[in-house]
Amino acid sequence: MTAPFVLLLSLLFLSTGCDQDGNDRPAKTDIKPKVRTVVVEETKRSPELVSPGTLVSRDRRIVSSPFNAFVEFLQVKPGQSVSPGETIARLNTRELETELEILRQQLARVQTERERTLVAVRQEISREKQKYIDLQRLEIEIGRQRREVESDREDLQTALELEQSGGISEKELSQHRENLLRSREVLEDLGLRREMLRLSLKLGPDSAKSTTPLSAVEEQLRGELEHGVHIIDREITELEIRIEEMVDKIEQSSIEAPIGGRITFVDPSVGEYLQRGEAICGILNPEELFVQTYIPESRIPHFSEGSSVQFQFFNEPTVYEGRILYLFPEIDSQRRSIPVLCSAQDLPDSVKPGAYVEVRLYSQLSETAPLSLPRETLLLPDPSEHQAAEVFVLRDGRVFKARLKDAQVRENRVVFSAGLSPGDTVVLQPPQSLREGASVEIIPSQEYETGDSHV
């Protein structure tokens, strides 16, 4: 048998699925990896913390005296119910009224003083203004008189020259001398009057105010002289404010209930003198109730305002729902914990402030990550901030990667908020050789339990 014929025969056997002896050869099949699966579950809602608490009334008011006064009468007693705006007590205002009358008299005197001062200021301004007018007129007159003195001096000089030539009589020459002397005397008199005016106006010899426009001088005088009036105006304003405050106090002499509720205590008695801020009574609104509890310092990051709470009263089967309303800003140094105030709605009438409450607090995680899987489903057992938490989800017999949103590993489970839905089938303990898109065979639970798996 030639070599080409043997080769052709071999190809024929391969194409027919037989071996060289003509026997049937078994067909080659794909081997599917066997895997175990679990389903996505909703997170079991279990409390993060169970803490003792107390039922409290946040709407509690202490009514205090707004000023020093005697108690004129009291209209309430402990245990009595009051409505908002209802009169509780009245304070005696005789001292305030006496002080108010003194202040009003003082204000009237100061206002009269202001009017007198204002009239005096206006008169002073008018006088000062007239002095400036006189000073400016004197400056003009002095200028004219200087020119006249200069003219008389020139006339005398001319007369002296004529005397040498005999062209003027002795009498005429004497007249020229008298004219010059009178002119100088007038000029000196004007100069003295000007200096007196300058002194009265407190002007130095080189002051330019005598040549300042009259309107500017008047404005400056008004500003300087009315300064005293402004001081009086400030005093009037202060008195008016004190009077207004006193009137407000007198109006507050009738003490009214700021809220509705029950009177818890009444401190003073009628006729007793109260200092400003001293307590008159306390009011408690029993309808506005809250639960107060404490969160240990180490657990504070797990909770925030809005976190869910449940609470139950002693020997009561009913469980009430609520939320954290307020986390106090400071840690209690004795307890090493932070006080927390929780809402309390639809409570029975039988419960009263001060009642013991068992509080179950739920962390933010139970609110924001409602889905969970076994930790063994993760492709990376400990995903970091930079590594996504991924699993293999089963779709139509094949596996595909799914990324878990907001995933957090908690002990033997991973909780997350999105990425899968409740009931989705996920591969448990995925083999390292498993690739996305691969077909898999699910190990029945009985087979796994008997140890027939090859995962």
Which pLDDT band holds residue 205 (cuts at 50, 70, 90)? low
Domains of the chain, CATH where assigned: 35-41+369-450 (2.40.420.20), 49-58+288-361 (2.40.30.170), 60-92+253-284 (2.40.50.100), 96-233 (1.10.287)
pLDDT computed for residue 453 by the predictor: 35
pLDDT in tens, 123-143: 877 887 788 888 888 889 989
Please report, for residues 12, 35, 193, 376, 428, the alpha-carbon distance to residue 439 in angstroms, rounded to integers and kept in the order given: 33, 10, 125, 20, 15
Residues 423-451 pLDDT 10s: 899 999 999 889 999 999 888 754 444 34
The yes-or-no verdict on residue 397 having pLDDT over 80 is yes
pLDDT at 452: 39
Distance from C-alpha of 440 to C-alpha of 394, rounded to nearest angstrom: 9
Per-residue pLDDT for 364 more than 80?
no
Q: Is the pLDDT confidence value at 157 over 80?
A: yes
Please report which confidence band the pLDDT of residue 261 belongs to, taking 50, 70 and 90 as the band edges: confident
Would you state the pLDDT for residue 108?
93
**Residue 127 · residue 165 · CB < 8 Å:** no
Q: What is the pLDDT of residue 280?
A: 92
pLDDT of residue 197: 81
- Residue 144 confidence (pLDDT): 92
Q: pLDDT confidence of 6, banded at 50, 70, 90?
A: very low
Q: Pseudo-torsion of CA 234, 238, 241, 243, nearest 10°?
A: -120
The span from the CA of 401 to the CA of 377, in Å, is: 11
Please give the mean pLDDT across all residues of the chain. 80
Tell me, what's the pLDDT at 368?
57
**What does the pLDDT read at residue 67?**
85
Residues 293 and 360: their CA atoms lie apart, in Å, by 10
In terms of C-beta density within 10 A (0-12 exposed, 13-18 middle, 19 or more buried), how is residue 71 classed?
A: buried
Query: pTM to 2 decimals?
Result: 0.36
Range with lowest mean pLDDT among 28-32, 104-108, 147-151, 383-387: 28-32
d(CA 270, CA 264): 18
Give DSSP secondary structure letters for 56-70.
EES-EEEEE-SSSEE
Query: Rounded to 5 degrees, what are φ and ψ at 310?
Result: -130, 145
Helix (H, G, I), strand (E, B) or coil at 440: coil
Confidence of residue 251 (pLDDT cuts 50, 70, 90): confident
Has residue 10 got a pLDDT over 80? no
Residue from 39, 17, 117 nearest 426 by CA: 39
Only one residue has tokens 């005088």, namely: 221
pLDDT given at position 30: 62
Tokens of 206: 């080189």
